[in-house]
Structure 1
Amino acid sequence: MNQTETKKLSLFALTWPIFIEILLHMLMGNADTLMLSQYSDHSVAAVGVSNQILSVVIVMFGFVAAGASILVAQNLGADQPKTAGKIAVTSISLNLWFSLGLSIILFAFSDFILGLMDLPAELMNEASTYMNIVGGFIFVQALIMTVSAILRSYGFTKDTMFVTIGMNILNVIGNYFVIFGPFGFPVLGVEGVAYVTMLSRFIGFIILLFILAWRSERQLPFSSFFRYEKRHVKDLLQIGIPSAGEQLSYNASQMAITYFIAQMGTVAITTKVYVQNLMMFILLFSIAIGQGTQILIGHMIGAGDVENAYKRCIKSLKIAIVIGTLMAIFFYSFSSTLLGIFTNEETIIEKGMFLLLVTIILEPGRAFNLVVINSLRATGDVKFPVVIGIASMWGVSVTLAWFFGIFLELGLIGVWIAFIADEWLRGVLMLGRWRSRVWVKKAFVKKEPEAATDG
């Protein structure tokens, strides 16, 4: 795909494959939950808490992928494909070494980390098994994230979508064998699900790597895998660390809130896992729109088209709010049936239905954050969302979750009230930042250096 073709991509052309890809990633996680729910509710809770921890780790190596996505898009918009290629290869190399270190830590200290979550004793064994296997090979997910981000910035969103489809199919088939044991296959439970998850990810990464090599058209200098240019590493860190910082703060705050919920008992943990699995299907529209908007605005900023970048964010935000709200209403309307897919426990279904009702108020606030924060990142304005995010997530979300959920004993309802307050406060502040246009001078890419660098 040449530069002209990339610039002609519309939001819809970018977003629908991203939507399908995210949907299938969610289905992969939900397939584990749904199929394990037929095996044991305790297994669901164990895997749910383990994945909460792993999501924080994924964000820690996601900072390189985030930086690469923005810098590649800006350089392509500025007609600097060689620089974009160097940044792409450098980001893969950096993330490989960093994520390998994290994998070793997760494997060696899984019991200690789970112990910090005050996990009920009956969940510890299965949670530890899952953490050892999935956490020990988490570097594969880091590489998948990085290569996928690069392909999307080039406009090849369909490629990553098709690979995700294949990973999802492998995961479901594998889960069927290890959970239900057809044809005399041994029932392996949580351990089997963990092995299947890692195998499907590894196969997916190998395929993505071949696609990247094929799509690169000799614009990816693989010598940059070993020889880093100081300015590229500096720019990756300047964008990536603050970008990941906002998400890392969110996931860490969610871990703190999960700690509160663990004190409410196994039923509360399981209810949260089921409800948030359903909520992710509501949220994926806003996630896809936010990521597609980020790619477009990155190209526009690289090309110096500030006015269209401003309008693109506002249009995308309106679309995300409308779709997110309608989807929340739809899911609440069928909440009893949807929750019944996971469990027959009346207490869990009743609590989950009310949480999905409250989610109708929550979703528009989350749409603000997903679209506007991604837009700010695409321009290079990455520090402001982190500062506001950390202050709100911990000062509002965590604090109010404890106050309403634990102190006032409102349980999960109190936690959801805290979520609403946090998302709406941050959303309004992010919109104000976008309207101020402070981000206009934040771009990391100028058009002049390409000729000087590549002569």
Structure 2
Amino acid sequence: MNLYKRLFVVALPLTIQQLLSSSVNLLDTLMIGQLSEVAIAAVGLSNQFYFVYALLLFGLSSGGGIFIAQYWGAKDTVNISKTTALMLTVAALLLIPFFILAVFFPSFTIRLFSPDARVIELAVSYLRVIGYSLLPAAISQVFYSVLRSTEHVFIAMVFSGITMGLNAFFNWILIFGLFGLPALGVFGAGLATLIARLAELGMVMAVIYGKSLPGKLGFIHFQSLTKRFFKRFMVYVLPAMGNELSWSMGITLYAVIYSHIATDVLAAHRMMQSIESFTFAFLFSIAHATAIIVGKELGKRKFDEAIEVANKSIRINFILSLITGLTIFAFSGWMIGVYNVKPEVRGLAYLILGLSLLFLPVKSLNALLVVGIFRAGGDTKYTLFVEGGTLWALGVPLTAFVGLILEAPFPWVFSMSLLEEGMKGLILSIRYRRRIWVRNVIGENI
């Protein structure tokens, strides 16, 4: 099959899934935005907590996807099931501290993010119910990774779309109190998420076991896990998880810095993020599709083909970043205008969205290299070092200094995070040309 066609076949369902996700996230924010700026900030900060957990899961699932994609290329379904069992085990361990913080200590958790008493009061009720959605979300995320890495992307797209539709529907009912139900506001948004996640888990498990798809496992697969298998898995997956943890903590700290500047600033940033997420619908799809195809070729030991896929993916990614950035900017005035917020908040969101879109080609290249190419070849330790180094040595300190010490206007504060993306892009591009990422990890002896 032609390379561009292969990318298209894998990337299209992922693109639709990302577009649906972005649409529902935007719709959720718009619904919450009808309540108040404080409600937007409360949900935004609670989601920053979930964001850390979700990115750890993403690190686990994408790191595990290194093995699943290469085992898929080698037609080794037994080790796909063993890898799935190991991913579920690690996911269960990850769940424990986040569940405890969200369900039993929500007030303490939110105070780590914001000093605003109004925000804390609203966020506590939302975060507590979100805590109960963490387990079904973790299991579904692992199986989605298996489905995508074995090229069953259409199934993942359909179920994800249904889940997001359910989430939006129940948000509409529970936030505003329709069909005779009480208006639950922010708490209703959290309850809608829990309902949707439980439905998602039921659908995923039904199709995996009903159709005997790759990743179907039993107790025997947990029993067959060996120390050697675990060690080889964690050598590559642990840095990927560490990468996502480091990055998510840094991004969360950005939100904390913004919240200490002003709640209106945090609300504007949340609005910008919900709109900007549309730009990544295409770009992250290319990254994920690249990871699947590159991983499969590496599993077959077809290294030249893997390099060809990576090179063409970079070109496609650059063109799409320009097209999507310009398109979103063209409609940004209308998208921001529908929020029921103060004019100054709306104007600030428009300004920082424009700044972020200017750096979109660089940000999308970084995502493609880290998630789509380097991770497919197991080059996870280096990306941990680079992403953590640029974020914590450059981005976060500069943002804190300019925002909290110099008290500069917020667009200048926000620009400091973009400088970090530029430096990271330069370092990663040099690494890409050295081709250290071109390797078969499932045949290595560790």
User: TM-score band, normalised by the shorter chain?
Assistant: over 0.9
What one-letter code is carried by the residue in structure 1 that aligns with 2:322?
T
Indicate if the aligned counterparts of 1:332 and 1:353 stay in contact, CA closer than 8 A: no
State the match for 1:366 in structure 2.
363
Describe the superposition over 1:223-282 as per-residue Cα deviations: whole angstroms up to 9, x where unpaired. Answer: 213542223322332222111222221111112111111112111010000001111111
Describe the superposition over 1:116-165 as per-residue Cα deviations: whole angstroms up to 9, x where unpaired. Answer: 22331111111111111102431221111101000101110010110111
Q: 1:91 aligns with which of 87, 90, 97?
A: 87
Q: 1:138 aligns with which of 134, 137, 141?
A: 134
The answer on 1:446 being equivalent to 2:409 is no
Describe the superposition over 1:367-391 as per-residue Cα deviations: whole angstroms up to 9, x where unpaired. Answer: 1111111210100111000001111
Counterpart Cα distance in 2 of 1:177 and 1:118 = 29
How far did residue 9 of structure 1 move? 7.6
Indicate if the aligned counterparts of 2:20 and 2:164 stay in contact, CA closer than 8 A: yes
State the match for 2:351 in structure 1.
354
The answer on 1:60 being equivalent to 2:83 is no
State the match for 1:154 in structure 2.
150
CA change 1:200–1:407 in 2 (3 A) is same
How far did residue 106 of structure 1 move? 2.5
Indicate if the aligned counterparts of 1:72 and 1:150 stay in contact, CA closer than 8 A: yes
Pairs within 5 Å for 1:181-196: 181-196=177-192
Counterpart Cα distance in 2 of 1:53 and 1:329 = 31
Percentage of pairs with the same residue:
23
Bigger Cα displacement from structure 2, 38-47 vs 151-160 = 38-47
State the match for 1:247 in structure 2.
244
State the match for 2:227 in structure 1.
230
Counterpart Cα distance in 2 of 1:293 and 1:151 = 15
State the match for 2:420 in structure 1.
422
Query: Over aligned residues, Cα RMSD in angstroms?
Result: 2.2
Describe the superposition over 1:43-86 as per-residue Cα deviations: whole angstroms up to 9, x where unpaired. Answer: 11100011011111222343332232110101111232222222
State the match for 1:452 in structure 2.
none
How far did residue 349 of structure 1 move? 1.7
Pairs within 5 Å for 1:155-170: 155-170=151-166
Describe the superposition over 1:382-439 as per-residue Cα deviations: whole angstroms up to 9, x where unpaired. Answer: 1000001111011111122123333333343123312221112111211211110122
Counterpart Cα distance in 2 of 1:142 and 1:260 = 29
What one-letter code is carried by the residue in structure 2 that aligns with 1:71?
F
Counterpart Cα distance in 2 of 1:221 and 1:178 = 37
Counterpart Cα distance in 1 of 2:4 and 2:280 = 27
Pairs within 5 Å for 1:28-427: 28-216=24-212, 220-222=216-218, 223-374=220-371, 375-427=373-425
What one-letter code is carried by the residue in structure 2 that aligns with 1:426?
K
Describe the superposition over 1:14-50 as per-residue Cα deviations: whole angstroms up to 9, x where unpaired. Answer: 1111111122223333222111111222111100011
Counterpart Cα distance in 2 of 1:285 and 1:248 = 24
What one-letter code is carried by the residue in structure 1 that aligns with 2:169?
I
Q: 2:7 aligns with which of 1, 7, 11?
A: 11
How far did residue 336 of structure 1 move? 1.8
- Match of 2:438, SS state, is helix
Counterpart Cα distance in 1 of 2:314 and 2:214 = 37
- Match of 1:372, SS state, is helix
Counterpart Cα distance in 2 of 1:244 and 1:325 = 30
State the match for 1:431 in structure 2.
429
Counterpart Cα distance in 1 of 2:215 and 2:329 = 48
Counterpart Cα distance in 2 of 1:161 and 1:234 = 32
State the match for 1:453 in structure 2.
none
CA change 1:41–1:160 in 2 (3 A) is same
Counterpart Cα distance in 2 of 1:221 and 1:251 = 31
What one-letter code is carried by the residue in structure 2 that aligns with 1:412?
F
Indicate if the aligned counterparts of 2:68 and 2:150 stay in contact, CA closer than 8 A: yes
Counterpart Cα distance in 1 of 2:313 and 2:215 = 31
Per the normalisation by structure 1, the TM-score is 0.92
Counterpart Cα distance in 2 of 1:438 and 1:429 = 14
What one-letter code is carried by the residue in structure 2 that aligns with 1:57?
Y
Counterpart Cα distance in 2 of 1:143 and 1:359 = 33
State the match for 1:451 in structure 2.
none
What one-letter code is carried by the residue in structure 2 that aligns with 1:270?
A
Per the normalisation by structure 2, the TM-score is 0.94
Gaps of 5+ in 1: 449-455
Indicate if the aligned counterparts of 2:24 and 2:164 stay in contact, CA closer than 8 A: yes
What one-letter code is carried by the residue in structure 1 that aligns with 2:411?
I
What one-letter code is carried by the residue in structure 2 that aligns with 1:151?
L
Counterpart Cα distance in 2 of 1:300 and 1:338 = 41
Gaps of 5+ in 2: none
Counterpart Cα distance in 2 of 1:420 and 1:279 = 14
What one-letter code is carried by the residue in structure 1 that aligns with 2:385?
V
Indicate if the aligned counterparts of 2:150 and 2:214 stay in contact, CA closer than 8 A: no
CA change 1:258–1:221 in 2 (3 A) is closer
- Match of 2:408, SS state, is coil
CA change 1:411–1:232 in 2 (3 A) is farther
CA change 1:9–1:250 in 2 (3 A) is same
Describe the superposition over 1:79-102 as per-residue Cα deviations: whole angstroms up to 9, x where unpaired. Answer: 322222221233224323432453
How far did residue 319 of structure 1 move? 1.4
